[in-house]
Amino acid sequence: MATKNAAADTVQAPAEAEYTVSEFAANSMALFGARKECVEAAMKSANIKSCPLSKAKEIVAAFMSKEVK
């Protein structure tokens, strides 16, 4: 038996928790293997104030792999 509202039948995954830049910086070595200054700079260059851990890892990895001119 189908219900009228199919969207209500779908199960939504819980949203990832968001953390602030200061929380990432405080745990920078454990999370990213980088100094807190690098994490802060990466987030500032991406104009991020808070985000989920998965996005933060992408941002920091991209920042750390940039070539210095």
Q: Where are the domains of the chain?
A: 16-64
Average pLDDT value for residue range 22-49: 97
Average pLDDT value for residue range 5-11: 60
Tell me the β-bridge partners of 18: 52
* DSSP secondary structure of 1-54: ---S-HHHHSPPPPPPPEEEHHHHHHTHHHHHSS-HHHHHHHHHHTT-SEEEHH
Contacting residues for 5 by C-beta, under 8 A, at least 6 apart: none
State pTM to two decimals.
Answer: 0.77
**pLDDT surpassing 70 at residue 9:** no
